Amino acid sequence: MSDSKKTGQNADEQKIMIGLEIHASLGTKTKLFCACTTEEAEPNSATCEVCLGHPGSKPVLNKTAVEFATKIALALNCKTNESFFFSRKTYFYPDMSKNFQITQYEIPLAEQGFVELPLGKKVRIRRVHMEEDPAALIHPNGMGKSNYVLIDYNRSGLPLVEIVTEPDIESPKEARDFLDKMENVLKYLGVLKGENPLKVDCNISLEGGARVEIKNVSGFAAVEKALNFEIIRQKQEIRMGKKVEQHTRAYDAETGLTVALRKKETEEDYGYIFEPDLVKIALSEKEISEIQKTMPELPDSKAKRFQQKYSLAEYDAKVLCADFELGKLFEKMVELGAEPKTSSKLLTRELLAVLNHDSLELSEIKVFAKDFAELVGLTVDGKVSDKNVKNSMINYISGNKESPKQFLEKNNLLISSSINADEIVEKIISSNQKAADDYKKGNEKALNFLAGLVMRETKGTLDPKKAQELLKSKLKKADK
Ligand code: ADP
Ligand code: ZN
Ligand code: MG
């Protein structure tokens, strides 16, 4: 085997290491170090001397931001530090007028946590710390299309929490699973701001190579794609006998490629110094336990409770709780009297199938627990076939105002009573004696033929399986 071939094979078997740095925007009312609003406002109107970085202005720490950040740390199973402080990170760029960012470096808010993935693997969290967002740079007509740039300081000083993982993630898919799980936990906490509160920096290395950082990827699907591309690119470099050097890249969502930005500076290069305008913060055990008391039930314990209380399968309970909105909807339906197992099946199979098909999120559409509970009731009473459950669901999700029940009634799709089905089956048998005899003689196809006639007669309201069962039982009885 040639040398290059060998390298090629090794490249395919190489262990992948991925570590993520996630910036989460907190949903506090005011900024991290001043009283300016975090709400949308005219550019540069939500500002003051602190977030504009005027010399001599003094930052004051937002207590709610500390509380929110602590909730995140606890939910990610981290150990909080008894006392921590802020540091100045040297940062010379137009979006940071002070020329330093107030962040945490030496002793962060919390360390050593983990997130457990659906299959049980634990991804370790290295640290959770607070920092201020820089201002927003606005490139008129797009990046590089103008010879000037605008700055909006409304974003300057917004509270961020940075979550740093250990490089425990072993594939792009696993990175996505991790982010989905973590986002869901943060959603349960109710501490995030707006629609897209998470931004991700991805670090990735192949065995023996240096780490490459892909900055600021937005969207979890994009994270997976960027990492997939980067693996192919790094493998190619290795095959061509090159060495992967440590550097920073950007991801272009349009082309799906990553491009080199700069040689990676290390954290030491930032020349951190202690922030003298903020005192050291002590979080006592008492304060932590106060915060702990206000923590909502998180996905894993909710799934366990669903399993026990409603006798759901572990998998179904986990699927219900993997989406905050879905779990909430399920419990509302049960409160309204819907049978739990049928409710779970309706949501995890039918509803999710329709949503996935239309690439929709539950939070994007308007649905009422009452309408679903009604549909569960009809299903339990055997008044609607599986096929029509699905049809009523599609109609409901497509934005039609009518509830599934209204849809079924309007289109005559409800099975009025079981006697009716009985009668129809008897009628079909007596008017198709030959097929009935054929079946009795062992011709299975004859049963399908009869079932088809029953289905046509009931306008598809009867479940095909039910039709076959009814036919079989009647044909047996007639035999005796
Ligand atoms: P820096 O100080 O330059 O930001 P860190 O050591 O703090 O670098 O690591 C930043 C991120 O890079 C972390 O998420 C970490 O898990 C990840 N990381 C570190 N080493 C590797 C590696 N060899 N491959 C992939 N990711 C890595
Ligand atoms: Zn301000
Ligand atoms: Mg870093």
By the 8 A CB rule, do 114 and 77 touch?
A: yes
| Rounded CA separation 327/320 (Å) | 5
Instruction: Quote the ligand 1 centre to 213 CA distance (angstroms).
Output: 8
Lowest-pLDDT range, 166-180, 228-242, 299-313, 399-413?
399-413
pLDDT of residue 409: 87
d(CA 68, CA 63): 9
**Spacing, Cα 274 to ligand 1 middle (Å):** 23
Distance 288 CA to ligand 3 centre (A): 27
Q: Which residues of 116-130 are buried (b: 16+ CB within 10 A; e: fewer)?
A: ebeeeeebebbbbbb
Q: Residue with the nearest Cα to atom 3 of ligand 1?
A: 266
Report CA(264)–ligand 1 centroid distance (Å).
Answer: 11
Q: Are strands 122-132 and 159-165 parallel, antiparallel or unpaired?
A: antiparallel
Give yes or no for a contact between 196 and 247, defined as CB atoms under 8 angstroms apart.
no
Residues with CB under 6 A from ligand 1: 17-21, 164-167, 203-205, 211, 266-267
Residue 255 tokens, joined: 């082309």
Mutate to test the pocket of ligand 1, among 203, 248, 249 (most ligand atoms within 8 A of CB): 203
Minimum-distance ligand 1 atom for the alpha carbon of 164: 14
Distance 265 CA to ligand 2 centre (A): 30
From 211, 268, 270, the mutation candidate for ligand 1 (largest count of ligand atoms within 8 A of CB) is 211
Give just the sign of the alpha carbon dihedral 33, 35, 41, 44.
negative
Distance 267 CA to ligand 3 centre (A): 7
Return the closest-CA partner of residue 121 out of 192, 52, 160, 174.
174
Q: How confident is the model at residue 11 (pLDDT cuts 50, 70, 90)?
A: very low
Element (H, E) at 124: strand 122-132
Cα of 228 from ligand 2 centre, angstroms: 40
The predicted pLDDT at position 310 comes to 95
Rounded to the nearest angstrom, the distance between the alpha carbon of 268 and the centre of ligand 1 is 14
Which ligand has an atom closest to residue 168 CA?
1
* Atom number, ligand 1, closest to the C-alpha of residue 210: 23
| Residue labelled with tokens 């040639």 | 2
Q: Which run of H or E residues covers position 225?
A: helix 220-239
Of ligand 1's listed atoms, the one at least distance from the Cα of 213 is: 12
DSSP, res 96 = B
* Cβ count within 10 A of residue 179: 21
Atom 11 of ligand 1 has which residue's CA nearest to it?
Answer: 19
Q: DSSP per residue over 367-390, as a string?
A: --HHHHHHHHHHHHTT-S-HHHHH
Q: Which ligand is nearest to the CA of 157?
A: 2
Q: Which ligand is nearest to the CA of 248?
A: 1
Start-to-end C-alpha separation, the chain: 76
Contacts of 330 (CB under 8 A, 6+ apart): 306, 320, 343, 344, 347
C-alpha distances (whole Å) from 416 to each of 81, 146, 201, 412 are 65, 69, 58, 9
Say yes or no to pLDDT of 1 above 50.
Answer: no
Q: Which tens digit of pLDDT belongs to each residue from 312-327? A: 999 999 999 998 889 9
Q: How far apart are alpha carbons 32 and 37 in whole angstroms?
A: 10
pLDDT tens digits, one per residue of 146-193: 889 999 999 999 999 999 999 999 999 999 999 999 999 999 999 999
Question: What is the residue-averaged pLDDT of the chain?
Answer: 89
Of 119 and 346, the one with more pLDDT? 346
Residue nearest to atom 17 of ligand 1 (CA): 19
How far from the centroid of its chain's Cα atoms is residue 203's Cα? 20
| Atom 4, ligand 1: residue with shortest CA distance | 267
Query: pLDDT of 92-137, one tens digit each?
Result: 888 999 999 999 999 999 999 999 998 889 999 999 999 999 999 9
Residues in the chain: 480
* List of domains in the chain: 3-289 (no CATH), 297-410 (no CATH), 421-479 (1.10.10.410)
Find the ligand nearest to 269 CA: 1
> From the CA of 452, how far away is ligand 2's center (Å)?
72
Smallest CA separation from ligand 1 atom 15, residue: 19
Tell me what pLDDT residue 28 has. 96
* pLDDT bucket at 5, cuts 50 / 70 / 90: very low
User: Which of 404, 393, 322, 403 shows the shortest CA–CA distance to 354?
Assistant: 393
pTM of the model: 0.79
Task: Give CA–CA dist 284/270, Å, rounded.
Answer: 31
For ligand 1, the distance from its centroid to the CA atom of residue 166, given in whole angstroms, is 7
**Atom in ligand 1 nearest the alpha carbon of residue 20:** 14
Q: Is the pLDDT of residue 10 over 50?
A: no
| For residues 446-475, average pLDDT | 84
- Nearest atom in ligand 1 to 165's CA: 14
Ligand nearest to the CA of 30: 2
What is the percent of the chain where pLDDT is above 90? 55
Q: Give the DSSP per-residue string, 258-305.
A: EEEEEEPPPGGGG--EE-TTS--EE--HHHHHHHHHTPPPPHHHHHHH
Question: Is the CB of residue 249 less than 8 Å from the CB of residue 230?
Answer: yes
Residue nearest (by alpha carbon) to ligand 1 atom 19: 167
CA of residue 256 to ligand 1 center, whole Å: 23
Q: Give distance in angstroms: CA of 37 to centre of ligand 2.
A: 8
Contact 346, 388 (CB under 8 A): no
- At 265, phi and psi to the nearest 5? -85, 155
What pLDDT, on the 0 to 100 scale, is given for residue 57?
Answer: 94
**If pLDDT is split at 50, 70 and 90, which confidence band does 419 have?**
low
Ligand 1 atom showing the smallest separation from residue 203 Cα: 26
Task: Give the environment of ion ligand 2: residues with CB less than 5 A.
Answer: 34, 36, 48, 50-51
